[in-house]
Structure 1
């Protein structure tokens, strides 16, 4: 990979009824792209029924818009965008509800030069400027049980007790993590070549966990880059019972893929315990998770193996195919 000033970056945004988020993301891209040689913006739209595509045309007219024709999920959207991109040194997967900080892309791309790094992630903050606990440790039975009994915040201060990193000092310095929230993930071309596509068996949630752990299995680390920042609105999974149930279910599905049946059963039991405790305290989202994990809704079938080739969007559905040099122009 060349220096950031020479780097070619494919920025892939996956949208679904994201009209209200497009202006903020688009307005942040020029400053975020400073110091990067060329940025190609690709917006993969998963059958939005609002004015998302029109908003992209208004606020990011140089973007390539790729309608999938269906709500294909986040992983499928990333795969479609990466497959449609021109030559790149790195791609960055973006939620539409983020606003990148100045120079964020250059910092993320530069950190990919650290030996053994395949993925880089920024510091995430909320709309009040408070840092979001975006760093994660590998899921284990002990961590799931620790979070169930102690609560995520207390358990997360101890490495072997919590999956979500709640140690404040961990967010002040760069370093490697097992995985991180997938709102913004920068992936090197080598990592893309070796790891392959994102697993479309996870419609939403756990796909970033799966991708980061598969990269780590190949010796390619996920690196936290605190000087790169992004505002992330997020939070829908914790207010929507349906989305939270899917999040809980996919946590178990991912663990089942990577561990023997007995360990997977123990992990499911630990997650179910935690959600049952929260449900007993009145959490509506936890009640939905309990129903899903207990098999009363949905199922816990093992996800399909990763796709052999990335999802592709036919050329005729592209609305614009423009690559900018030096910055993305909203």
Structure 2
């Protein structure tokens, strides 16, 4: 008797602003072989357009942000595994998802597995797409964070840790989710043998990037770290910000976001155990960086 294919719930967000990219992304997703796919497209403040036949949709009355929209999609799809897939990404091979799923099935300690992300024109993998401090895009292995846009996750782990931090809206939600997975005893894995194409866009193109990037870094630390490590993490971030950004306008915006993160509600605080701090450190990424 043959083994049934893995069941995968795929979540794709849209704001109807990437018509050509969305069509290519959906074509590549629906062409995947060796998996049982259930796909839902979530319209973030819109009624989804150009959706292929047989794909279900959810239209949200307002834009709730990327992590919030993904949470909605995860509730709607069926499957033991959850695929979060950017609407401008492309799966170049028909077995890409099946290979990611196989890696998860081989190791029950894994919460998530991430492929290598590369620009379709240049083949370049950006530094921020490699989920480790040493940015060797070709080296597989255990990782402590994730690139949020293209990732396959065990549903059991996703639900156990509470899903994405929806109130983050955009930026750093993947670190938050990964840290909570590690605190529940899971790990993550980077599988560069599976490549997914994604345009090498600059996140700073978003008008709110510097403010929300800073705010969410503060929320991330406040929500997840033991109290003694929170000021250490934020001090490291502040020093790096001062070193990287010489534009006074950018600095002012980042510091405003920092103050917002300190003064506003970060959500439920569930600090990781010191055992998790040690596990993350041994895995190559102490949670102060």
TM-score bracket for the superposition, by shorter chain length: 0.7 to 0.9
Query: What is the aligned partner in structure 2 of residue 53 from structure 1?
Result: 48
**Alignment check: 8 A CA contact 1:135 1:179 kept:** no
Within the candidate set 211, 214, 218, 2:184 is matched to: 218
Query: What is the aligned partner in structure 2 of residue 178 from structure 1?
Result: 144
**Alignment check: 8 A CA contact 2:6 2:80 kept:** yes
Quick one: distance in 2 between partners of 1:175 and 1:279? 32
Quick one: distance in 2 between partners of 1:285 and 1:237? 14
Query: What is the aligned partner in structure 2 of residue 25 from structure 1?
Result: 25
- How many Å apart are 1:250 and its aligned residue? 0.6
Within the candidate set 60, 70, 81, 2:73 is matched to: 81
Residue 303, structure 1, aligned to residue 269, structure 2: no
**1:234/1:204 Cα in 2 relative to 1: closer, same or farther (>3 Å)?**
farther
Tell me the C-alpha RMSD between the 2 structures.
2.4
Query: What is the aligned partner in structure 2 of residue 8 from structure 1?
Result: 7
**Alignment check: 8 A CA contact 2:118 2:196 kept:** yes
**1:188/1:261 Cα in 2 relative to 1: closer, same or farther (>3 Å)?**
closer
Within the candidate set 248, 256, 262, 1:291 is matched to: 256
Quick one: distance in 2 between partners of 1:202 and 1:251? 10
Within the candidate set 199, 203, 215, 2:165 is matched to: 199
Query: What is the aligned partner in structure 2 of residue 120 from structure 1?
Result: 113
**Alignment check: 8 A CA contact 2:116 2:130 kept:** no
Quick one: distance in 2 between partners of 1:234 and 1:301? 32
With normalisation by structure 1, the TM-score equals 0.72
- Number of residue equivalences: 263
Within the candidate set 69, 91, 97, 2:88 is matched to: 97
Quick one: distance in 2 between partners of 1:277 and 1:241? 21
Within the candidate set 122, 134, 143, 1:165 is matched to: 134
Secondary structure of residue in 2 paired with 1:40:
strand
**1:274/1:174 Cα in 2 relative to 1: closer, same or farther (>3 Å)?**
closer
Per-residue CA deviations over 1:241-289 (Å, capped at 9, x if unaligned) read 4123212221121012222445323322332232233332x37545522
Quick one: distance in 2 between partners of 1:265 and 1:63? 46
Quick one: distance in 2 between partners of 1:300 and 1:13? 33
Secondary structure of residue in 2 paired with 1:129:
coil
- How many Å apart are 1:236 and its aligned residue? 4.2
Within the candidate set 125, 130, 138, 1:135 is matched to: 130
Query: What is the aligned partner in structure 2 of residue 35 from structure 1?
Result: 34
Q: Which has the higher contact order (CA 8 A, sep 6+)?
A: 1
Within the candidate set 88, 98, 103, 1:106 is matched to: 98
**Alignment check: 8 A CA contact 2:18 2:88 kept:** no
With normalisation by structure 2, the TM-score equals 0.81
- Stretch moving more, 128-137 or 68-77: 128-137
Query: What is the aligned partner in structure 1 of residue 197 from structure 2?
Result: 231
**1:299/1:45 Cα in 2 relative to 1: closer, same or farther (>3 Å)?**
farther
Secondary structure of residue in 2 paired with 1:265:
helix
Following superposition, which runs of at least 4 residues in structure 1 exceed 6 angstroms of deviation? Answer: none
- How many Å apart are 1:28 and its aligned residue? 1.6
Quick one: distance in 2 between partners of 1:239 and 1:286? 16
Secondary structure of residue in 1 paired with 2:168:
coil
